[in-house]
Chains A and B, each alone.
Chain A
Amino acid sequence: MTCPKTIMLGAALLVVLSAQGAAWGKNPVYQESQGFAPGTPYAAPQAPVNRSTLDAFLVRADEGAAALVLRGPAAAVAVWPVGVAVPEEGLRLLDPKGQPFRPDGRTEARFQTGFSSELPGLVDLPPTASLLKVMAVTPGRYTLDWSQGRSGAKAYMVAVQDGSPYEMDVQLSRMVYALGERPTLTAKMWDAAAGRALAGMDVTASIKIHGSPVTRVLLHDDGLSPDDLAGDGVYSASLPPAVAGPALTDVKVDGGGLADGLSLHRVGHAAYACASESAAIQEARLCQMRKAKGRVATLSVPVVVHARTAGRYRLQGLLTGRDNQGQEVEVAYASTTAHLSKGAAQMVLAYDGAEVARAGVEPPYTLRDVALLDEGAMTVADERRVLGTVDGFRLADLPAALPAGPAPAKRAVPAE
């Protein structure tokens, strides 16, 4: 896709005019180009890490009590009654000997409870939570007792921070998978304070795929693919094949076992999208340069796509380059949005030369993170991590960099 020195002005003009012509008609084509400030580091997209120190579970009210492990020194327990609009007033925490827990040896620890008389449904979680925060906890198995409960709840949601440095880091290998591809999931269980892996744990992923019951998959730390190394505390699994749907697929991870002679449980989560494949990126053609006043006014990258489903699509892509220190930095972003009929079509990423110049980076540039978005289905239809290289000119051939927009006005800060 390297640009030849010979400027393909005629072809570029045709592309621009055809796009503009479409914009004047019933099928508008929207194009956008933005440059980045010098030194904006490029970070490859990756799925977030969910770091959890949380134990959370749901328990039926008719069980009367539930066991909790608190390790301390500080810990917190929150309880939400399910299905009722009032908080649970009858909660108690019993110590490992089965006696009411008295952190200072004298006063029983009490849950703080409140409820809202405001409009229901406005808040993000039921405001009927009861909270117990305690300090100086002795590690042990405690009991959450609601046998005196009066709320009428049928179940309780319980969330516990046990106060220990035991963590579970959950991560998927990517955010978007191709249809039928099996996502790789890892869960690292470790003592964050000591930097020690927690081996021998049971780690399970629960996947709720659109329209199907929950599927459970065991993660392994056995060194067999997809796991890298046996016994390193990083548990891995290949999940069921990705299925396209209107929303991200949720993954819940439960990790547990024995740590310091007490049971340990952590919950974590992840989510991924499945490419809908309603359209596909087929190829990027030769980069075309349009000149004006002897400068490269526009860098255009025509991309051939094939739409299986007619609809409105956006193609976006990032140019990156290397700064003087060899660090990969962002240069410019471009997108084009149009309604595509079924079949092959050409979409043009048009990078404004003055925007490209802003980063102050010499070519060649890498065309990265090219994604074709299905705006009707709100899915990623297809993507390419790298689609080619843009070259064949020098930074000095670009117009003067457009000045960055005005800095946001400094506003008086209210003094609280």
Chain B
Amino acid sequence: MRGRTRIVVAAVFLLVASSLWAKTGVALVHGKGGADLANASTALAYWTSPMIAAVTKNYAVPSLVCHYDGTQYMWVAGDQVASQIAAFVTAQGITDLVIDTHSFGGVVVRWIFSNPNRNSSYQKVVSVTRWVNTIAAPQKGSEAADLAGTLSGSWLTGWLVSLVGENTDSTKNCRTDDMAYYNQYWLYGTTGRPALPKTFYSISGWGLFNDWAHAEDYGLAALSAVAGLPGEDDGMVAEYSAEAVGTLWFRTEANHHHNRRNDFKPVGTYLSYDF
């Protein structure tokens, strides 16, 4: 009898101790892009080392940089991301996870949290997550993706289609028409739809030319000027879209390319305040 009591006491102690000693981790989920984003090294390059170091407090916080094929629909990407995160939290014993996303990565993660019963990986990710920070997520779509779709892909014939390279499922997923449909039928978190099971914090961008020596900024400024992005935007995603889901955490002047880095504004440092 005494031995049995000891076992019960030990079990209770372990239970209490495990809750007191929650192990925190962070997962970073990139946006859309090429198929090579399925490679870990390409995904690392997407975020850049300074950004990852900043978010993780110089790698003190266990981290996972998710890597998925950046050309796919959110549910294909979601399966890959959920599987990686579930494996990460299991292997590391993570019990308190923060997920940081950039651009389409925010839509991919919202897909996971809108479908928590899709499989055991999804359930694991949802249950272990403290909250999600989405940087410039096109939650209501991106007029820039509309423009890409209008100019490329379906409307061209022959050799032009392959040259433009923007006729991908992920670009289509990000169009405003498509996101209106997904928000109505498949995703949670927008006005009038069920709430997400965990809190989403949004970060929206409003700057364009962050760095005159940084040539990508010209491309973003061009997009912003012609794509018809309503209100303020970061060159790719308008703020109304980035803020359509969750609670606005902060706005940043960093544009769409710089807000996944820690250069023009210390966005990674801000994210590290979670730890």
Residues of A whose CB lies within 8 Å of any CB of B are: 28, 30, 32, 34, 40-43, 45, 47-48, 50-54, 56, 58, 76-78, 80, 82-83, 87, 112-131, 133, 154-155, 157, 159-161, 175-176, 206, 208, 214, 247-248, 250, 252, 267, 269-273, 330, 333, 337, 371, 373, 375, 378, 380, 405, 408-409, 411-414, 416
Q: A83 touching B215 by the CB < 8 A rule?
A: no
Nearest Cβ distance between residue B233 and chain A, in whole angstroms? 13
Contacts of A130 in B (CB 8 A): 218, 222
The docked-state distance in angstroms from the alpha carbon of A48 to that of B190 is 15
* A412 and B273 in contact, given A53-B228, A121-B33, A123-B257 (Cβ under 8 angstroms): yes
Q: B219 touching A128 by the CB < 8 A rule?
A: yes
Q: How many A-B residue pairs have CB under 8 A?
A: 218
Extra A-B contacts (6), CB below 8 Å, given A118-B216, A176-B185, A248-B177: A112-B218, A115-B215, A121-B36, A124-B32, A161-B226, A414-B252
The docked-state distance in angstroms from the alpha carbon of A73 to that of B100 is 42
B75 within 8 A of A: yes
Q: B160 touching A82 by the CB < 8 A rule?
A: yes
Nearest Cβ distance between residue B213 and chain A, in whole angstroms? 9
Interface code B180-222, partner A: CB below 8 Å = 1, 0 otherwise?
A: 1100111000011111000101000000000000111111111
Q: B228 touching A54 by the CB < 8 A rule?
A: yes
B175 within 8 A of A: yes
Residues of B whose CB lies within 8 Å of any CB of A are: 31-37, 42, 45-46, 70, 73, 75, 103, 117-118, 131, 142, 144-152, 154-156, 159-160, 163-166, 169, 171-172, 174-178, 180-181, 184-186, 191-195, 199, 201, 214-223, 225-228, 236, 246-247, 249-253, 256-257, 265-266, 269-270, 273
Q: From A48, A252, A371, A378, give the contact of B176 (CB < 8 A).
A: A48
Q: A48 touching B180 by the CB < 8 A rule?
A: yes
Q: From A58, A133, A208, A380, give the contact of B151 (CB < 8 A).
A: A58
Contacts of A176 in B (CB 8 A): 181, 185
* A48 and B247 in contact, given A83-B163, A159-B147, A408-B199 (Cβ under 8 angstroms): no
Nearest Cβ distance between residue B184 and chain A, in whole angstroms? 5
Q: From A43, A123, A126, A160, give the contact of B192 (CB < 8 A).
A: A43
Nearest Cβ distance between residue A77 and chain B, in whole angstroms? 8
Q: A131 touching B218 by the CB < 8 A rule?
A: yes
Q: B195 touching A405 by the CB < 8 A rule?
A: yes
The docked-state distance in angstroms from the alpha carbon of A380 to that of B70 is 25
* A411 and B195 in contact, given A214-B154, A247-B172 (Cβ under 8 angstroms): no
